[in-house]
Structure 1
Amino acid sequence: MLEGCKTAQERWGGVHDIIDRWLEQRRQLIELSVYLRERGEFTPTDTPKILNVCEMLMDYVSAGHFTVYEQLALEAKEFHDDGAVVLLRELLPLIDSSTEVAIEFNDKYDTKEHCNAQLEALPFSLQALMLVMAERFQHEDKLIEELHEAHSEKSA
């Protein structure tokens, strides 16, 4: 029995590190996005920071879909008795819709040429992106809280 607990801790303990790194990516993305939003007007000298937001955004979204959500889904299946799979099915479509918005933003500003051609629209695009991402962050936080934190307590 003790061996099973140790194995569960080893098995799911690594998820903490994955989530921690992912949330750090989120923090950096938010900080840079807020910095840019507060600038208001943009010039071509801002392009590297805008391109950095695009890269960070795509890295964050990809890590969510291809690493974090997969780990949470594995935990949900492992602890299938608590309704976690239902929560995943409920929240993932909501998160997916924000992914589309993130991809559209990236496609609009992902190159120097794209970015410089649309600098006037950037404040509005950035504001719209941040609103959608704020909702996404709430859904992701609920997934982490309801799935991972509950499962961490059970596996401890």
Structure 2
Amino acid sequence: MTASLGIASVAEVTGLTQDTLRWYEREGLIPRVVRGSDGRRRYDDASVRIIQLIVRLKRTGMPVAEIRRFLELYEEGAASHGRRMALLEEHRARVAARLAELRQDLTAIDDKIDHYRGLIAHGLDCDDTAITDTDVLEQQVRTV
């Protein structure tokens, strides 16, 4: 990556649109962006990395208020490392809890899929009675 990127390049690197980057800037969701002598936004490597982190924080459900707080701390520099780390650790715990829930949900879905595969393989209905309608059986066999 070069030392100074325009908004189009940053949009490509971060997966955000240019309009979203502008909106994030207006809303205080990304650090202040330096402008070149031509008035255009110029992003350095550090800015791009923080935007990528913010995208991940948002995608993992960090509330906007916490993202703003993180950025306020970021602007304070090294003196806020401990507070930023604490904020990230709290968010990490929430994400880990959500992942555990999702793993359990995925297991339940997999179990239900296996259940239906077994029913279809044995030509059974949900109450374990044999399906006698040949059209239904043929349709189930085609979907397996």
Larger Rg: 2
RCO (CA 8 Å, sep 6+): is it higher in 1 or 2?
1
TM norm structure 2: 0.38
| Richer in helix (by share) | 1
TM norm structure 1: 0.35
